[in-house]
Amino acid sequence: MPRKVIVDLDPGIDDALALCMLLFDPDWDVVAVTAVGGNVPPHVATRNAQALIAYLDPPRIPRIGAATAPERGLPVDGRFANSVDDLRDASLTVAELRTPHPSEKLLTDEVRAAPHAVTVLALGPLTNIARAIQRDPEFPVLVHRLIIAGGAIQVPGNITPAAEFNIYCDPHAAKIVFASKAAKTLVPLDVTNRVNFSLSFLNELPPETNKIGALLRKILPAKFRAYRQHLGLETIHLHDSLTYLAACRPDLFRYEELAGDVETVGEITRGATIFDRRPVPAWQENRLEVAVGIDAAAIRLELLKRLNAAAQAAGNVESPP
């Protein structure tokens, strides 16, 4: 029987790839897609989530939650100064939601409707998850598990020297989530940085006649250009897609239970994830299952396998996206 999942995301090219696989994965029942500001501003995140679902037209249409800005605002508009992560190259059109529901309301409603049965895949900043916790104090014990893309343990950050992007965007929200009683899995840069995708990855995508293949062939080249122009790298990382795989194939990862917290006020350490490795950690509630190792070769094969299976289920395009 498929497992229920809510996808909380800030699409985003990598988020779009993960969503393509999830919506057509027979092992998962995507009950809601909740947008959050991060890679793109909140209103763009909501529009992109709508547009992706409308274009992909999965067998079951999930509920869509609308993003709103965190109380303190977003410190950045995207990973790079002129972000290409807004899916502009896809040229997707969509009618705006007439009566949008806030993302945090959908999170609490769906978890209340199926206690202990809903996994939340958090692929963006943790704004919505923290608000769900504040809205419904029982949310942490009713959700099955939070699987979070974010943080850095022993590697540099990817937005500042100390911080990973998702945590940096809303560190106050991340601090609330880390301290909650929810079962939590963290998939940090320490493992997602170990899987690199070169330009040859474009040749392994489904054909452009396929609905998913056509979409990815339009949007992925922009990610390669951004990594090359801004980071001087010839390969890209797919942090969100690997977090999806951590939910599907936890056996391909190695985990440790760690006590973690988030720096919220440091002048140069805002958003840093700190882990208490002492024999008796100071933080007792802040327990997370943290991915610390990965079978990179197997993960790459698994991603291609699931991507092609999703493409086959999605079918071909009637006209280009």
Catalytic option among 8, 10, 85, 170? 10
Q: How far is Cα 67 from Cα 52, in angstroms, rounded to an integer?
A: 15
Catalytic option among 85, 136, 239, 261? 239
CA angle 139, 140, 141 (to 5 degrees): 95
Contact 19, 241 (CB under 8 A): no
At residue 282, what are phi and psi to the nearest 5 degrees?
-70, -30
Catalytic, 237? Answer: no
Active site (catalytic) residues:
10, 239
